[in-house]
């Protein structure tokens, strides 16, 4: 006698949510029969084929990045949001987390991401916004994805910062790259130079912003 699973048992079988099973059914990936009471029942023998398909599917790659180590809490929140988005879709997830400037092309996580795209090991790339890849040059990664047929999903399409805030972020990240090189020399004079440069930059940007406001009045 054929064995049937309820929708809850089917969700447990695949390790996904009940909503994912409903979505699979609406997409035609899985079919069910209905009891007299209108409840879904899934044929056990049909699930094996779906399971094999899931095993063979390339994972979805989530990439999360922050610029400095003191933003680790933000990194975790970003990563958790990306993973939750994918799990809600029922996708296999692989997460890469990076800490480093968006101006730095040599970050370990970014290089790992590129390698996986070139080796055709991922089906899609999920990021919170395009600047998480690189401050300048994210389009290069998108071109790679297009060439290797990797779908790119950017969750936050709307800008999260004003133009002035983006300018501040860009300048500060340049200073951070400069600081990383000078701090390696462990010179008190170098550290003082970076701190003064950082303060002066923020002060000048504040003045420019105020002048911009005045000019619009």
Task: Give catalytic residue positions.
Answer: 67
> Looking at the chain, how many residues does it have?
217
Copy the structure tokens of residue 54: 């899931």
- Integer angstrom CA distances of residue 150 from 16, 60, 137: 23, 9, 17
Residue pair 61/125 in contact by the 8 Å Cβ criterion: yes
Q: Find the distance separating the first CA and the last CA of the chain, reported in whole Å.
A: 81
How far is it, in rounded angstroms, from Cα 174 to Cα 94? 30
Identify whether the C-beta of residue 113 lies closer than 8 Å to the C-beta of residue 96: yes
Cα gap 197→175, rounded to integer Å: 8
**Cβ atoms 93, 86 nearer than 8 A:** yes
């Amino acid at each position: 006698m054929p064995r049937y699973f309820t929708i809850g048992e089917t969700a447990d079988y695949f390790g996904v949510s009940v909503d994912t099973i409903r979505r699979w059914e609406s997409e035609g990936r899985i079919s069910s029969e209905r009891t007299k009471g209108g409840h879904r029942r899934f044929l056990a023998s049909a699930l094996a084929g779906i399971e094999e398909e899931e095993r063979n599917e390339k994972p979805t790659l989530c990439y999360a990045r922050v610029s400095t180590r003191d933003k680790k809490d933000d990194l975790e929140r970003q990563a958790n949001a990306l993973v939750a988005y994918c799990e809600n879709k029922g996708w296999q997830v692989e997460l890469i987390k990076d800490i480093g400037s968006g101006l730095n092309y040599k970050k370990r996580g970014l290089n790992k991401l590129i390698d996986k795209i070139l080796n055709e090991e991922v089906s899609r790339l999920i990021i919170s916004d395009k600047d998480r890849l690189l401050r300048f040059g994210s389009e290069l990664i998108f071109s790679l994805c297009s060439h290797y047929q990797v779908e790119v999903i950017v969750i936050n399409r709307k800008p999260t910062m004003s133009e002035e805030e983006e300018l501040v972020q860009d300048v500060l990240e340049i200073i951070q790259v400069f600081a990383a090189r000078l701090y390696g020399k462990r010179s008190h004079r170098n550290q003082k130079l970076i701190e003064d440069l950082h303060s002066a930059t923020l002060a000048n940007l504040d003045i420019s912003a105020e002048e911009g406001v005045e000019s619009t009045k």
